[in-house]
Structure 1
Amino acid sequence: MSANSADRPGQLEVVLVKAGRTKIRYGAELLGDDGTRIVVRAPWAGDTVRDFGFVRFEQGDVFTEYYWRDRWYAVKEVRDAEGTVKGWYCDITRPATLSGTELIVEDLDLDLWRSADGRDVLRLDEDEFAESGLPETDPAAAAAAVAALDELETLARGGGFDALLA
């Protein structure tokens, strides 16, 4: 997506930051902002297929993304081109900030996957998180990130996940 897409009404640029650098930037349609939670929709922003083994992100996929200003995670519902839910990919992040038309999200390496049927709930990238150095450089942020991952896993396994996105 071009940087100009945020110039259209109802459009934002999602800016995903990792280790102090912009990892990806893409245009998204603003679906809602209640002052705490921001919801956007965007097509898969990758140039190629990304196969995780448990899910493939590919051209035609559509993400409905939920970001919070007061929570340490983002939840992304993934649907294929026909509209079938593949599942939910959850990023552990610092609380999101909205600056003008830029939605800025700092990725903290930890992730969670919940399959469409809810049977598979996978904690991801815990090794990357450990290697990131965050537990040593910012122990409070690291503790908040781990607590957020634990909370999401509990919601994903215990049925509270759908209420989170309602």
Structure 2
Amino acid sequence: MSARSVDVRLVKAGRTKIRYPAEVVSDDGTLLTVRAPWAADGVRDFGFVRFEPGDVFTEHYWRDRWYAVKEVRTGEGALKGWYCDVTRPASVRGSEVVVEDLDLDLWVPADGGEVLRLDEDEFAASGLQERDPVAAAAALQALDALEALAREGRLPGADQETGLR
């Protein structure tokens, strides 16, 4: 496949949260993998990791899974870890990838440290469980599945990079 660009659009609560260009690495019709530099302005310090200008994200979007996995590296190539978003399955239309964020996230540090479940309070406050209980159940199942994959070292690239299994 020749390199092509797409725009990744992350939607939250019906509004575009961020939009950024990315280069397609591969697309098998189910799994789309793109690479993009850190797209937000400045540094974002979460306490457990800092995303900053120069960081490179290799992002894996499935059309049939309720999550996305983003491998995060420094500009020099050192692996920071994996930021996993619970989302509705990705929608790819032409040169646009649309992903609906469902608030739940998982951080998996490259050093094998503690896997962190994030934003469960935001998810509870979002009202999704009342508005769309089927989607809410799928989101919770996706978070559990991501955590199991992380603990087994089966996130994209995890076994090659860290030796986790």
TM-score using structure 1 length: 0.91
In the alignment, structure 1 residue 16 sits paired with structure 2 residue 17: no
**In structure 1, distance between residues paired with 2:18 and 2:136:** 22
The question of whether the paired residues in 2 share the 8 Å contact of 1:121 and 1:156 is answered with: yes
Identity of aligned residues (%): 70
Match of 2:94 in 1: 100
Match of 1:153 in 2: 147
In the alignment, structure 1 residue 112 sits paired with structure 2 residue 143: no
Higher helix content, 1 or 2 = 1
Match of 1:57 in 2: 51
The amino acid across from 1:56 in the alignment is R
Number of matched pairs: 158
1:49-72 deviation digits (Å, cap 9, x = unpaired)? 000000000000000000000000
The amino acid across from 1:86 in the alignment is K
TM-score using structure 2 length: 0.92
Match of 2:34 in 1: 40
**In structure 1, distance between residues paired with 2:60 and 2:102:** 16
The question of whether the paired residues in 2 share the 8 Å contact of 1:39 and 1:65 is answered with: yes
**In structure 2, distance between residues paired with 1:98 and 1:81:** 27
The question of whether the paired residues in 1 share the 8 Å contact of 2:69 and 2:156 is answered with: no
The question of whether the paired residues in 2 share the 8 Å contact of 1:11 and 1:29 is answered with: yes
> Aligned-pair distance for 1:119?
2.2
Choose the corresponding residue for 2:81, options 84, 87, 102: 87
The amino acid across from 2:129 in the alignment is P
SS in 1 for 2:107: strand
SS in 1 for 2:11: strand
Match of 1:136 in 2: 130
